[in-house]
Amino acid sequence: MPPYTYADAVADGVNVDFEIYKINTRITSSGSRVESGYWIDKRDRLTRARRAELLDADFTYTSDDLNRDVVAPDQIRTVVREFRDKLFTDIFPGRTEVPKTLVFARDDSHADDIVQIVREEFGKGNDFCQKITYRTGKVRVSKQVKREDGTEETVVEWVDTGDKADGILNFFRTTYNPRIVVTVDMIATGTDVRPLEILFFLRDVRSLNYFEQMKGRGVRVLSSDELRGVTPDAKIKDHFVIVDAVGVTDHPQIESHPLERQPHVPLHKLLEAVALGSTDKDLVSSLASRLARLDRRMSKPESDAVRDAAHGVDLAAIVHGLVDALDPDRHQEIARKETGLAEPPPEAIASAASRAIADAVKPVRTNPALRQTIAAVQKSHEQVVDIVSKDEVTFSGYSQDAKDKAAAMTKEFEQYLTEHKDEIEALQILYNRPYRSRLRYSQVRDLADAIKKPHPAWTTETLWHAYETLDRSRVRASSERVFTNIVSLVKFAISKEGQLEPFPESVRQRFANWIAEQQASGSNFSDEQIQWLTAIAEHVGTSIEITPDDLESLPFSQKGGLGRAYHLFGDRLPILLEELNEKLVA
């Protein structure tokens, strides 16, 4: 009975295939040298306490020393930054959510460094990246204790914080955050995290069995609904990616070859090559990988269409045939039967391999309709992501139709003001300059109500936006939605001069001018008086006026109310309030 291989599992849809994405840096490959005369840090492995040391000789380290005896934060940062920058263009093109990623670190200290740098580079908070190691849920606490001889030493204790590794792992498996988990070996074996789409190696592994166990975390399949439950922009898990930042997949003892051997060759080109008679092993292996992926992505109508084009044969069966034909053990078996030899010569094995592959690709090679159907289904599941072209703005502004509508609205509004300037008290005041009397809260409220009656759509916001559409250079956007803005709006519509700006901003500017005038005339105010006057001005900006009774409400009541105001300003208080009402609303 031949062994059940990883390729068989991919063909059966039990596992998904993978791709390898490599990130290499100078320090990763060759280490580095720090010249004498530079300051370096020395860090305690346990307490992580640092001290500075001036080098009196050159310090050289190799890649093998990295993250064991030497920590180079910029090496980790360079790798993480490259991963971040290529994630949505090269690794998972078109995606916007960071796929669930498991990072393998050398040890607990290395994991801490990685977590800190990932959080800094992605800038998405602590929940985004978490560590799961045997020390998860514990925090280092360093304290000084006295020995029997009276000297002091630093003792490190690990205090339980309440965060358990199992809890974080469950969140990783079933919720949006964390997106990235850093581990040493706690979830290398015996743990199922099916939404994983990226295995990120920042530690070297030279054991085939251990590497396969680590790789096994990424092969798990799950439904599209389950995947989207934790990664909203994912459609289906049809492969995972090994990000190799340490050369782990280059070791001869590590069998890390995916079925996908030619990831940059489009599927229709693979189909064309097979149609022309190619039996290249890498090409056929890539074809098997692509068809296995497609089989997981196809809807039922698409599966039916492919089966019909293949004369009733499922696509999974075709994939199985390709995988079986690539199996070296099968080549040996065929050659033994044909030659009658227990150890057939290499040429007999090569001949058997060639014929097995040729027979396996025959359903695809001899069936143009099947090739066309497969290519069409694949095309429907993909879109081109143009990462080359650079765009530029050729126009930015409101359409002419929007401007015409805005012009009609403002014209009708201005006409309404003219027709009713003698009927509405607030308009009588605003149309007569200098103002014979000041505006009252009730008058502004009546003005707003009167304007809405003929046209309910004439809110302060819509009219403001209409003027902004016509001439943005003369209109300042209002971030404060206050009813006194109607005063600024009406004044702008009447005068057609200056700028339309939020009423509270106009009041603040007039208040600053008033304070300057007071100081110039020799009237100085204490810090507390300035605080009160500023609060009074803010009240006028949102309520059009202020009365003594207003000083008994918030925020003045928190400062001592009317009594405190009289204590600060004395008998001058009523005069000040009246003056501010007049000056700030002018």
Q: Which of 500, 530, 554 is the last residue of a domain?
A: 500
Residues 66-91 pLDDT 10s = 777 888 889 999 999 999 999 998 89
Q: Are residues 317 and 205 in the same domain?
A: no
Say if residues 443 and 427 touch (Cβ distance below 8 Å).
no
Q: Bigger pLDDT: 456 or 266?
A: 266
Q: Are residues 201 and 127 in the same domain?
A: yes
Q: Is residue 409 pLDDT above 70, yes or no?
A: yes
List C-alpha distances in Å: 278 to 274, 283, 375. 5, 8, 18
Cα–Cα dist 258/151, whole Å: 59
Residues 559-584 pLDDT 10s = 888 998 899 888 889 999 988 988 88
List C-alpha distances in Å: 149 to 85, 156, 483. 56, 20, 76
Q: Are residues 318 and 231 in the same domain?
A: no
Residue range 518-541: mean pLDDT, rounded: 89
Long-range residue pairs from 124-131, CB within 8 A, at least 24 positions apart, any chain: 124/179, 127/177, 127/178, 128/98, 128/177, 128/178, 128/179, 128/180, 129/178, 129/179, 129/180, 129/181, 129/182, 130/168, 130/172, 130/178, 130/180, 130/181, 130/182, 131/181, 131/182, 131/183
Q: Are residues 439 and 494 in the same domain?
A: yes
Q: Is residue 508 pLDDT above 60, yes or no?
A: yes
Query: Cα-flanking dihedrals φ and ψ of residue 63, to 5°?
Result: -65, -30
* Within-domain flag for 466: yes
* Within-domain flag for 234: yes
When pLDDT is cut at 50, 70 and 90, the band that residue 45 belongs to is low
List C-alpha distances in Å: 363 to 311, 327, 367, 393, 527. 10, 19, 6, 51, 89
* Within-domain flag for 143: no
When pLDDT is cut at 50, 70 and 90, the band that residue 144 belongs to is low
Strand pairing category for 101-104 and 180-183: parallel
SS3 category, 156 = strand
Give the tokens for residue 247: 């050369």
Give the tokens for residue 53: 């040391």
Query: Cα-flanking dihedrals φ and ψ of residue 271, to 5°?
Result: -65, -40
DSSP string covering 274-306, please? HHTT---HHHHHHHHHHHHHHHHH--HHHHHHH
Q: What pLDDT is recorded for position 135?
A: 54
Q: Bigger pLDDT: 111 or 209?
A: 111
SS3 category, 73 = helix
* Within-domain flag for 446: yes
Per the rule left: phi > 0, alpha: psi between -120 and 50, beta: everything else, 525 is beta
Q: What pLDDT is recorded for position 310?
A: 94
Q: What pLDDT is recorded for position 47?
A: 67
* Within-domain flag for 119: yes
DSSP string covering 39-66, please? EEEEE-TTT--EEEEE-SS-EEE-GGGB
Residues 486-499 pLDDT 10s = 888 888 888 877 88
Asked which of 165-169, 406-410, 564-568 is least confident by mean pLDDT, the reply is 165-169
Cα–Cα dist 141/357, whole Å: 63
Q: Which of 478, 500, 522 is the last residue of a domain?
A: 500
Q: What pLDDT is recorded for position 152?
A: 66
Residue range 151-165: mean pLDDT, rounded: 57
Number of structural domains, the chain?
5
DSSP 8-state symbol, 99 = P
Q: Is residue 160 pLDDT above 70, yes or no?
A: no
List C-alpha distances in Å: 201 to 67, 83, 101, 215, 249. 13, 12, 10, 10, 10
Say if residues 554 and 539 touch (Cβ distance below 8 Å).
no
Q: What pLDDT is recorded for position 156?
A: 55
Q: Is residue 352 pLDDT above 60, yes or no?
A: yes
**pLDDT above 90: percentage of residues in the chain:** 29
Q: Bigger pLDDT: 254 or 92?
A: 92
When pLDDT is cut at 50, 70 and 90, the band that residue 371 belongs to is very high
- Angle CA 374–380–382, to nearest 5: 105
When pLDDT is cut at 50, 70 and 90, the band that residue 29 belongs to is confident
Cα–Cα dist 180/189, whole Å: 18
Q: Bigger pLDDT: 215 or 237?
A: 237
* Within-domain flag for 144: no
When pLDDT is cut at 50, 70 and 90, the band that residue 188 belongs to is very low
Q: What pLDDT is recorded for position 139?
A: 43
Residue range 171-195: mean pLDDT, rounded: 80
Q: Are residues 95 and 222 in the same domain?
A: yes
Q: Are residues 232 and 190 in the same domain?
A: yes
Q: Are residues 582 and 463 in the same domain?
A: no
CB-based contacts of 1, cutoff 8 Å, min separation 6: none
Say if residues 259 and 286 touch (Cβ distance below 8 Å).
yes
Residue range 435-445: mean pLDDT, rounded: 77
Q: Are residues 435 and 344 in the same domain?
A: no
When pLDDT is cut at 50, 70 and 90, the band that residue 304 belongs to is very high
Q: Which of 20, 9, 18, 19 is nearest to 323 (CA)?
A: 9
Q: Are residues 442 and 571 in the same domain?
A: no
Residue range 518-528: mean pLDDT, rounded: 87
Q: Are residues 324 and 464 in the same domain?
A: no
Q: What pLDDT is recorded for position 140?
A: 46
Q: What pLDDT is recorded for position 251?
A: 81
List C-alpha distances in Å: 6 to 10, 13, 191, 281. 6, 11, 18, 17
Say if residues 245 and 202 touch (Cβ distance below 8 Å).
yes
Q: What pLDDT is recorded for position 463?
A: 87
Cα–Cα dist 182/194, whole Å: 16
Q: Are residues 112 and 249 in the same domain?
A: yes
Q: Which residue has the tokens 């304007």?
A: 451
* Within-domain flag for 149: no
Domain that holds residue 418: 399-500
* Within-domain flag for 155: no
Q: Are residues 248 and 311 in the same domain?
A: no
Q: Is residue 161 pLDDT above 70, yes or no?
A: no
Q: How much is the mean pLDDT over the chain?
A: 85
Q: Is residue 222 pLDDT above 70, yes or no?
A: yes
Q: Model's pTM, two decimal places?
A: 0.58
Q: Which of 37, 65, 93 is the last residue of a domain?
A: 65
Q: What pLDDT is recorded for position 153?
A: 64
Residues 311-325 pLDDT 10s = 999 999 999 999 999
Half-sphere exposure for 400 (CA within 13 Å, toward CB): 0
DSSP string covering 208-243, please? HHHHHHHHTTT-B---HHHHHHHSTT-----EEEEE
Is the backbone peptide bond immediately before 328 cis, with ω within 30 degrees of 0? no
